[in-house]
Structure 1
Amino acid sequence: MADNDRDNAGRFKQGHSIKSPGRPVGPSRAERLAEAIEPHIPEIVAKAIELAKLGDPASMKLVLERYAPIAKQDGERVIVEGFASAPTLELKAQAVMVAVATGQVTAEAGERLLRTLDAYARVVVADDHEKRLQALEAMRGAPKPITLDAGTGQPIDLEDLA
């Protein structure tokens, strides 16, 4: 914004504003480019394939990345012995490590399981801290925090949700 957009009192002069005029009317640059290329796509693809067949590395990479991409790995379903019955997070983590060490699950699957356990542990700790804080506030006679329903704006009793 230029200094000459305002008068001596600091107000905007007639016809000037802090607001942006917004997106220009009409197709964007990318839309115009796509429209210009559209009729030539079959020839461009054929040329890229021809160059790839002749050994051009850039064309090979382009053709393979666009027309034969590497498939993403599906989520691996794993069963870890002792995981479900382990009473503590530490024992669950040990069960995962044993499964990885003995080759029952891949290292990647084990890592994902341990990350999931870590996230779960954080939730458990946060929940425990919240309960302890509420107990301390109840002992002090502090007012309970109020949670409002997003739709109605009315207070919600969190104990009813438990």
Structure 2
Amino acid sequence: MTKRTKTGQFPKGTSGNPKGKPEGSRNKVTLAAESVLDGEAEKLTRKAIELALAGDGTALRLCIERIMPVRKERRVKFDLGKIEGVSDHPAAQSRIARAVSEGELTPGEGLALTSMLDAQRRSLETADLAERLEQIEERLAGASR
């Protein structure tokens, strides 16, 4: 059993339930809802479809969202221009900012592209630093001979 402090609390960084929630266990609310709806799901679905067909907007929206869920992401076609090195990144960032401000890209799409560019820039910088370090080590090894 996990030890507690003098005030009865668990020490910082220590869980009162170290094993955690058992794998595959279900939420109590979910279990309650399933037991109430047990055997009624088909009838409820049929009723929602009937209401939707009769013109009920809420039922129609629910049915459509089940058939074709709202898309979270979409493919973005956007020309960043030629990017061969870190020096090309400011121009690409400017293109993204301009596209967002003009409505060509959503702010979320612009942020995603900016994040990808930033990751690429860090990767290029890391590769450049590794190459420079290797050259320095070779020079030092050659000078010590």
TM-score (norm 2): 0.48
Instruction: Identify the structure with the greater helix proportion.
Output: 2
* Higher-Rg member (1/2): 1
TM-score (norm 1): 0.44
